[in-house]
Amino acid sequence: MLYLRLFFEFFKIGLFAVGGGLATLPFLEEMADKTGWFTRAQLVDMIAVGESTPGPIGVNMATYVGFTTAGVPGAVIATLGLATPCVIVILLIAAFLKNFRENPLVKSAFYGLRPASAGLIASAGLSVLLVALFKNSPALRVDLLSLVSWNWKAVVLMAVLLYLTRYCKKTKKWHPIAFIGISAAAGVLFQFGA
């Protein structure tokens, strides 16, 4: 019974949360209040864990909430519940697109959609960059111009990575995970956090 409810609750989130992983957050807060499966404080931990383990954040959160609530079966059921509506909706759209991809109207819509999509991804990248380049500060906006609030180690790492991934012929073709590994090592070695 708990399993069924878990599936259903996450199915609802998958169906109504638009815009990716962190868009599930308000729904999870509501779930915490309504079901008592976990507290809001636990939810904060779950975000931290979802962000600091491999895998898309939204999926990580569902797995963790499911596991906390009902063990291994709970983790599997919550994650599948979250993914099921996405899969159904996308399969419907994909089937439609398959038949209409060459349609001039669809082509025209994508002509406008592509730059918008690229703009959104760039903006998401920028917000990660801001978190990475500045020290934790509540008054972030005010401190942008003050030199002490910059995380200079991160700035140096960024410059090195830009060189390695874009200009250095030897390393340019390396797999992205190699750079992620190097950055994690650099972070630990030079004490990047806090």
Q: Is 26 in the site for other proteins (CB under 8 A)?
A: no
Q: Which amino acid does the sequence have at 52?
A: S
Rounded to the nearest whole angstrom, what is the least distance from the CB of residue 189 to other proteins in the complex?
A: 8
Residue of 7, 21, 32, 69 that binds other proteins (CB under 8 A) = 21
* Piece of 1-9, 30-38, 54-62, 139-147 that binds other proteins (CB under 8 A): 54-62
Q: Is 56 in the site for other proteins (CB under 8 A)?
A: yes
131: left (phi over 0), alpha (psi -120 to 50) or beta: alpha
The contact mask relative to other proteins for 171-190 (x = CB under 8 A, - = no) is ----xxx-xx-xxxxxxx-x
Tokens 């190699």 map to which residue? 178
Rg, the chain, Cα only: 21
Question: Which backbone phi and psi does 176 adopt, to 5 degrees?
Answer: -50, -35
Residue of 1, 18, 145, 148 that binds other proteins (CB under 8 A) = 18
Q: Which is nearer to other proteins, 139 or 191 (CB)?
A: 191
Q: Is 48 in the site for other proteins (CB under 8 A)?
A: yes
The set of residues, in sequence order, having a beta carbon less than 8 Å from that of 162 and lying 6+ positions away, is none
Residues in the chain: 194
Q: Are 79 and 11 in contact (CB under 8 A)?
A: no
Looking at the DSSP bridge assignments, the partners of residue 69 are none
Applying the rule CB under 8 A, the residues between 96 and 155 that interact with other proteins are: 98, 104-105, 107-129, 131-133, 151, 154
Residue of 76, 134, 149, 150 that binds other proteins (CB under 8 A) = 76
